[in-house]
Structure 1
Amino acid sequence: MGKRDDLIAKYAEAIRSKCGIEPDMDLLTKVTIGCGPAIYSDDAETIAASDPAELERVKNSFLVKKLGLSDGPDLMPAIDAAIETWGKSDRHKYRAAIYYLLVKQLGRETVYA
């Protein structure tokens, strides 16, 4: 297995243990690949949920640009819900895993079809 496969396995295990969800591995793989080189950087691999600027980036770059959602008042609560599902106190909120939770929560799996 390559480094990306190792990371996908790590994200899948984290989703299982932290969220109690059995991830769709095909979708998780596609979401992880969509994150690009960010998954290989210790800093960019995680989301700083306490940083409002970071949450705005997630909203604008992922939800609006990647998932094609309209910017509106319902997007930030969706991010908050995904972070709550993950666990606010956990400092290792993996970007690919949070994005996966958002895709599932918002029913946007067809973006990765």
Structure 2
Amino acid sequence: MMDYLADVKIYDAGADEATVNKIVKHLGIALRDRDSAMVSTSDPNELARVKTNWIGKKLGVTGPDADKAMEETIAAMKGDRTKSRVTFYYLVAKHLEKLETL
């Protein structure tokens, strides 16, 4: 099992363990499979699902703000070939200032 908190702390040294655990709990069984535990930022269908299901439904953000949050997160993680879904979701929520609503 991956150390999700350690991975998030690569990008946000002050990451809160409870917040990371909420994202892990939200993702649940999806994290058991390596493929679904990662975000493929080169797949437009994958990004559309993240935008609809995480940013739109869970965080309540749509439109240009959702697009900008994804673009910023992709840019921040560009050096990481295996983008953890937990870390990606955390950074999107942080960018949108929605961590406290999780």
TM over 0.5: yes
What is the deviation of 1:20? 4.9
The answer (yes or no) to whether the contact 1:15–1:22 under 8 Å persists in 2 is no
The structure having more radius of gyration, on CA atoms, is: 1
Residue type of the partner of 2:55?
Answer: L
Matched, 1:14 2:4: no
In the alignment, which of 74, 80, 90 is matched to residue 71 of structure 2? 80
Distance 1:102 1:44 in 2: 17
2:39 paired with 1:60: no
SS at match of 1:35: helix
Matched, 1:97 2:83: no
Identity %: 32
Runs of 4+ in structure 1 deviating by more than 6 angstroms, as ranges, are: none
Listed one character per residue, the Cα deviations across residues 69-111 of structure 1 (whole Å, up to 9, x for unaligned) are 2x2122112111112222x132211101111111111111232
Q: Structure 2: where are the runs of 5+ without partners?
A: none
CA RMSD after TM alignment: 1.5
Please give the TM-score of this superposition, normalised by the length of structure 2.
Answer: 0.88
How many residues end up aligned between the 2 structures? 102
* 1:37 alignment partner AA: I
| 1:39 lines up with 2:31 in the alignment | yes
Unmatched segments (≥5 aa) in structure 1: 1-5
